[in-house]
Amino acid sequence: MSPRCITLRDRAPAGTGRGRRVAAGLLVFLHAMAGAAEADLPRARQLLADGQYPQAYQLLQPLQATTRDDAAFNLLLGEAALRTGRADEARALFAAALALQPGSIEAHLGLGRAYLARGDYARAKIEFETVLRFDDLPPDLESQAEIYADAARAYAEGRRLLASGYALLGYGNYRIGASGGGPRNDAFFAARVGGRLNVERDDAYALVGSLDYRFRDYDAEGRRNDSDLRWNGAVSRNVGEGNWIAGLRGRVSYRGDSTYRNDFGAYGQYRLRLDEDNQVSAGLEVRQRRYPTGRLRERTRNIVEATAGWTHSMLDGKASVSLDGQAGREFNTERPDGDANFFGLSPSVNFSITENLGGFAFFWWQNDRYNIERLGQPGDSLVGIGTRNDNLYEVGGGLTWQFLPNWSLNPEILYIRDSSNILAANYSSTEIWITLRVDF
């Protein structure tokens, strides 16, 4: 047969053979790349554990194109990117890992650290709080996020016992307003010390505990000194984009003249991250406020309280605004005005001014409506026979200047106003103070 008579059909097997060889070679190459990625993950983990972050990044980054759908790979490369100053890349990698593995503790904490590295403090705090539960944080947004980040770094390094503490020393002035029988100025010294302990388990559960002691010594002769010991023990769990906690908490307070106040009860709360800029929460607490002895014993009462809150990150995470509400009932008491229903709101704003300077402001309001009728006394705004009705207000704010790592100065101001239709229950005061704080 002449070469010119060869048909396309005659040529097809030769071309098909070359295509098959190319396809087979491509499959071998991809399989080899996948095998190399799997083989390199343990080595990358060891490099990260040894603190060799640039080497880990150089090892993993070339494999990203073929391994982007592997959550474990994204976590490792995200950690390497974050440790080598690539915050934007780390954020994208941790977000990808979270999309592939919803509810991943490592991804949530890594994403929070990436937000912090970008200066998105409010977003970082929202992300951290899907996993971690810390009480008694500093008032400023950046310091709160940094304390969470320290715990998140410890978790990434394999530690599951997360502990931190703080100490404060301050000086201020307490002034009673005209509605409280003043004016009267009392200078005071204040001290506070406390700590937190979280035992994070690999099954997303955590054991949470905290202690906080506060003491205030007034200069005025004959004025009582105040002290409080507050405690908390609970179990929390991360579930997807949310976190719930249930536990016991309380306080023991000394108010002079051998008068003590003991609060203790059970509580639960659920927090949910809606997106990177929004978080909502709901909670319930049942507690008793007990005055064991003394002239205030009749004020002993039981309290059930429901709470709800919303936090929104603004200005690319440099600020946040929150709105919290509460409602409940006080009952089983022998005080003259009887049981009471209450409800209220508390908006607040927290913002970063510079890298080391932040501020906050808040407003708190609660209305108390009592149930036992009484006859109004001279000076009361209660006309005839009626029930006591109180509106309680607090307005405050302050600044935080972090002048050294973990050290800050905090000037603050607080105004309190209790407005009641019973003259004796009216009260107002203003407090101004400055504290030196160290977190460790």
For residue range 41-96, what is the model confidence (pLDDT) as tens digits?
Answer: 889 889 998 999 999 999 999 988 888 789 999 999 999 999 999 999 999 999 99
For residue range 382-419, what is the model confidence (pLDDT) as tens digits?
Answer: 988 999 999 999 999 999 999 999 999 999 999 999 99
Q: Is the pLDDT of residue 6 over 70?
A: no
Average pLDDT of the residues of the chain: 89
pLDDT band at 345 (very low <50, low <70, confident <90, very high): very high
Q: Is the pLDDT of residue 16 over 70?
A: no
Lowest mean pLDDT among 5-9, 104-108, 278-282, 427-431: 5-9
User: Which CATH fold topology does 20-128 show?
Assistant: 1.25.40
Q: Are 290 and 300 in contact (CB under 8 A)?
A: yes
For residue range 135-191, what is the model confidence (pLDDT) as tens digits?
Answer: 899 989 999 999 999 999 999 999 999 999 999 999 999 999 988 777 788 999 999
Residues paired with residue 304 on neighbouring β-strands, in sequence order = 286, 329
Helices (H) and strands (E) in the chain, counts: 8, 16
Q: 95: how many CB neighbours lie within 10 A of its CB? A: 17
The count of residues in the chain is 440
Residue 14 falls in which region: left (phi positive, over 0), alpha (psi -120 to 50) or beta: alpha
Q: What is the DSSP secondary-structure string of 36-68?
A: HHHHHHHHHHHHHHTT-HHHHHHHHGGGHHHHT
Q: What is the pLDDT of residue 67?
A: 83
Rg of the Cα trace of the chain? 30
Q: Choose which CATH entry (2.60.40, 2.40.160, 1.20.120, 1.10.1740) describes domain 161-229+274-283+301-439.
A: 2.40.160
What is the three-class DSSP state of 14? helix
Domain residue spans of the chain: 20-128, 161-229+274-283+301-439
**The one-letter amino acid at 387:** T
Q: What is the pLDDT of residue 21?
A: 52
Please give the structure tokens belonging to residue 380.
Answer: 């009361």
Q: 65 burial class (0-12, 13-18, 19+ CB within 10 angstroms)?
A: exposed
Residue with tokens 């083989």: 39
- Alpha-carbon distances of 178 from 13, 218, 418, rounded to whole Å: 103, 20, 12
Q: Are 55 and 45 in contact (CB under 8 A)?
A: no
What is the three-class DSSP state of 90? helix
Q: 232 burial class (0-12, 13-18, 19+ CB within 10 angstroms)?
A: buried
**The one-letter amino acid at 87:** A
pTM strictly above 0.75: yes
For residue range 241-269, what is the model confidence (pLDDT) as tens digits?
Answer: 999 999 999 999 987 766 789 999 999 99
